[in-house]
Structure 1
Amino acid sequence: MSRKKKILIGVIVGVLVIGIVTASLNYNRTEKTTVQTGRVERKELLESRVNASGEIRAKETVDIQAEVPGIIVELNVREGDRVKQGDVLLRLDPIQSRSEAEAAAANVNAFLAETSQQQMQIANAENNHERDKAGLLTAKADLEQARVQHLRAKGTHDRKMQLYEENLLSREEYELARADWNATQSVLAAAQARVNQAEIQIKTSALQIEQMRAMTRAVQSRLNGAKASQARALDVYRKTTIYSPLTGIITKLNVEKGERAIPGIQSDPRATLMTIADMSVVQVDLKVDETDVVGISLGDKAKVKVDALPEKAIEAEVIEIGNSPMNKSSTSLTNTQEAKDFKVRIQLKEPPTELRPGLSATADITTKVKNNVITAPLQAITVRELPIDAQGNHIPPDPAALKKKNERKGFSFFGGSSPKGVTSASKDKDKKIKKKEFEGVFAINKDNSAQFRPVKTGIKGETEIEMLKGLSEGEEIITGSYKTLRTIEDGTPVKIDNTANKGDQDKKEK
């Protein structure tokens, strides 16, 4: 063999060796991706929880305000004191209001005496009126008797006058008959006069009685006004002593003895003397994100941790769910994309006596509970855009094509990429295929390659998520790293390294 041929063969062999070494290095570099994995496991119990923070509140809180002005002369409570319903909280200076109440009472008594006197006068007048009515009846009876006697005397007079004219009767007898008749006329006139007088007297007494009754009504009206004034004065006097309307704790005290209490409207903080909270029923107002509130239902159980009592977990229950966001804004259209919180109110079952309104608290609300479920680590869930058929179903990749693709990646000469024509054709083909985003995980195949599995999930726990479809118990799936889950592709060869997971597990156990 000539020297020139030997050199040529040596060059060819050298080039082949370099190519093989380079390809081998490139293959080793791209072939295996280091991943962390977890197992699909069956859990006896999986709970879905919503975590939210808020603050302690009493079910019933009352702001104590003065209804009348005055100087505080007695203050019986301090902030933090427990009070019972009906306890005296404070007293205002009662001198002026008590004097006004006493004056009003004296005025009422005077009108009562006047009214009593008027009623006595009316009673006497009514008695006299009844007596006058009886006298009228007697006068009418006398009048009737006088009229009968007068008619009888007239008849006697007329007969005797006829006899006298016929000279059958003496003049003396006739004159006697005429005198009797005239006498009965006088008696009749007197009886009629007495009847007329009695009738006038009755009308006069009736008018007097009506006038007295009118005067009594006027006095009664003034008496009612005096009683109303007395009631107002007594009310003002009573309001100088302020009682506790409920049993609870003085959570805020804004005044001191000697200060002036000023009545005001409810929204004016200067008018509030103190605040009492009924801590027998304790609630927590939570701010829940809009994405979580839809999963919460009335009656859901919760565990509450209060920052001031970190060692205690308090049982609670959801009693109210807000229908509108707490930070709703209608002033600007730019705010419509902002995250919104909804108010969820929970009630503590056995609140500790140390709780105070306004304390910060955190609650874990259990929204769903399932038994005997297949679960996967929550961090394994990722999203991929995958080809779909006409019905919208996922088209699984061809294993041979995946293998070919990875071989092409691993053995491209000198680490180069695939030929441009192949890449372009592949891209053109991809553009024509319809795709859709699927939620899924990357499972580890027997050949230690990654395979994307679309899954159907159920409820979420703290670190696990329920697998309804797509995975079987015992399968190994990729859980990290986060960057790997974002970039790894179907069919990628992987190398499992769970040392990081073990370190995290050790930390949790510690």
Structure 2
Amino acid sequence: MEKLENLAAKIRQNFSSAFTKFKNLSLKKKIVVIVIALIVIAILFKGVSDATKEPGYTLAKVEIGSVDEIVSETGNIATTNRTDIYSPSNGVITQMYVANGEGVLKNQLLFEVESSATVQEKRAAESNYLAAVSALNSARSTQDTLQADMFSKWQTFQDTATSSEFENSDGTPRYDQRAQSEFHIAEKNWLAAEKKFQDQKTAIAQAQANVSSTKLLLDATKDAKVLATAEGIVENVSVGTGSGVKINQVLAPVRPVMTIVSTSPTEVTVELGESDIVKVKPGQEVVLDVSAVDDREYQGRVVRVDSVGTDEAGVIRYSVYIEVLDADQNLRPGMSADCDIKTKSLEGVLIVPNSAVKPYQGGRAVRVVNPRTKEIEFIPVKIGVRGISHTQILSGVEEGQEVVTALSNESIERPSLF
């Protein structure tokens, strides 16, 4: 009893001393001490609350329903359904017959161009073209001469190599004799003639390219009527009547006068790996989410599946082509699209939410709450098709049984707060 009284007296003394020190502090320091004390009290209160709080569960019932197996991949809207139209002449557009959004047929007249070339420019362009044609014809004539010489040298070498001096009666080479200069001279003459003939092929290709470029420049000095090269919808008209236009060249590219977008079905191409491609077949339904188009999903259908893959850094990928069934003007070539391909659909099967299925001892299991101990227990299950939101259960649990899909506060051991 005396010890308790002494302890109480000591506590009162310490408290009185601390209170006196607190009273002597400045206002700013008093505020800091009070804030620290409140934080400590809050931490202690939360720790006690969490330590005593009962685990919370989110439960779902095992039920009979439907499940769709989905293969998901991101692809791009095909860019092959557009044709850029350029002016074949340097000049001024005198007539424009189409506008954005109009449909055109192949070979339909689109616009007319009047050349701005002078008489001297036209003559120079024609002279350059004729010179290029002459050079090409000369190169082809030279090639014929070189080819004849190559065949002649080949025959000389063949006759030398198969003579009795350099070949045995059974057709095998006489290597000891073939070391003579006569044999090597015939061989090298043939090889040199063959090289000249092959080099002339390169010269002809260059001459042909020169003819094409000078013909392009010659046409650029002439008036032109430009026809549609494909059927489709006119888009991106960049000029109008009276506008100046130039031809498109590799070293001096220009903007197209217009673009014709094909009216053929819009397609999306995706690349799938070996494990997914075996599930995908033509005719399967697809849901497409185009990131550039908000609040809209598109419906599609698989139309083609590659049977031969492409090696990409050691990984074999297969192309799948998806037709967009409800395409609209918002879709543009090159846009990315997330594609969910429905590869299998099951009705009237036992299902649980995907979040209920967990890895367990090398297999799969669902978690349940033991009604007596309120503890989590794992029940091994065999699963079938896994869909976007639900998984098919083949065995392990029954319809109506409740499984855990999430834990809000797992029951774990916590260290003492004191």
What is the TM-score of this pair, normalised by structure 2? 0.50
Question: How many angstroms does 1:261 deviate by?
Answer: 1.7
Partner SS for 1:379: helix
How many angstroms apart in 2 are the aligned matches of 1:65 and 1:98?
24
Q: 1:91 aligns with which of 112, 126, 130?
A: 112
Q: 2:103 aligns with which of 69, 79, 82?
A: 82
How many angstroms apart in 2 are the aligned matches of 1:31 and 1:358?
54
Tell me, yes or no, if the aligned pair for 2:92 and 2:116 is still in contact at 8 Å. Answer: no
Farther off after superposition, 314-323 or 364-373: 314-323
Partner SS for 2:254: helix
Q: 1:277 aligns with which of 258, 261, 267?
A: 261
Q: Map 1:242-253 onto structure 2 (within 5 A).
A: 242-253=226-237
Tell me, yes or no, if the aligned pair for 1:40 and 1:475 is still in contact at 8 Å. Answer: yes
TM-aligned CA distance change 1:72 to 1:382, over 3 Å: same
TM-aligned CA distance change 1:438 to 1:305, over 3 Å: closer
TM-aligned CA distance change 1:359 to 1:467, over 3 Å: same
Partner SS for 2:397: coil
Tell me, yes or no, if the aligned pair for 2:90 and 2:115 is still in contact at 8 Å. Answer: no
Instruction: Give the unaligned 5+ runs of structure 1.
Output: 1-28, 105-231, 331-335, 387-436, 490-510
Is residue 2:322 matched to residue 1:346? yes
Give the total of aligned pairs.
Answer: 267
Tell me, yes or no, if the aligned pair for 1:58 and 1:278 is still in contact at 8 Å. Answer: no
Deviations along 1:149-192, one digit per CA (max 9) or x if unpaired, are xxxxxxxxxxxxxxxxxxxxxxxxxxxxxxxxxxxxxxxxxxxx
Deviations along 1:34-68, one digit per CA (max 9) or x if unpaired, are 3222111111x211234555554465221223445
How many angstroms apart in 1 are the aligned matches of 2:288 and 2:118?
50
Q: 1:258 aligns with which of 237, 243, 258?
A: 243
Is residue 2:367 matched to residue 1:442? yes
Is residue 2:356 matched to residue 1:380? yes
Partner SS for 1:264: coil
Q: Map 1:360-509 onto structure 2 (within 5 A).
A: 361-384=337-360, 386=361, 437-447=362-372, 448-481=374-407, 484=410
How many angstroms apart in 2 are the aligned matches of 1:239 and 1:297?
52
TM-aligned CA distance change 1:273 to 1:293, over 3 Å: farther
Counterpart of 1:261, as a letter, is K
Tell me, yes or no, if the aligned pair for 1:68 and 1:263 is still in contact at 8 Å. Answer: no
TM-aligned CA distance change 1:444 to 1:98, over 3 Å: farther
Question: How many angstroms does 1:76 deviate by?
Answer: 3.6
Deviations along 1:245-275, one digit per CA (max 9) or x if unpaired, are 222223334555432322425x985364432
Q: Map 1:205-354 onto structure 2 (within 5 A).
A: 236=219, 240-255=224-239, 257-265=242-250, 270=254, 272-286=256-270, 295-305=279-289, 313-320=297-304, 323-324=309-310, 344-352=320-328
Partner SS for 2:349: strand
Counterpart of 1:241, as a letter, is K
How many angstroms apart in 2 are the aligned matches of 1:245 and 1:238?
20
Which residue in the other structure is 1:404 paired with? none
Counterpart of 1:439, as a letter, is R
Question: How many angstroms does 1:381 deviate by?
Answer: 1.6
How many angstroms apart in 2 are the aligned matches of 1:244 and 1:279?
14
Which residue in the other structure is 1:41 paired with? 63
Q: Map 1:8-23 onto structure 2 (within 5 A).
A: none
Specify which structure has the higher proportion of helix.
1
Tell me, yes or no, if the aligned pair for 2:300 and 2:323 is still in contact at 8 Å. Answer: yes
TM-aligned CA distance change 1:370 to 1:309, over 3 Å: same
TM-aligned CA distance change 1:42 to 1:53, over 3 Å: same
Farther off after superposition, 284-293 or 460-469: 284-293
Q: 2:83 aligns with which of 62, 65, 73?
A: 62
What is the TM-score of this pair, normalised by structure 1? 0.42
Counterpart of 1:92, as a letter, is V
Counterpart of 1:83, as a letter, is V
TM-aligned CA distance change 1:347 to 1:263, over 3 Å: same
Question: How many angstroms does 1:288 deviate by?
Answer: 6.9
Partner SS for 1:455: strand
Deviations along 1:270-308, one digit per CA (max 9) or x if unpaired, are 364432111342123457799866644333211335567
How many angstroms apart in 2 are the aligned matches of 1:296 and 1:96?
58
Counterpart of 1:443, as a letter, is V
TM-aligned CA distance change 1:248 to 1:40, over 3 Å: same
- Give identity over the alignment, percent: 23
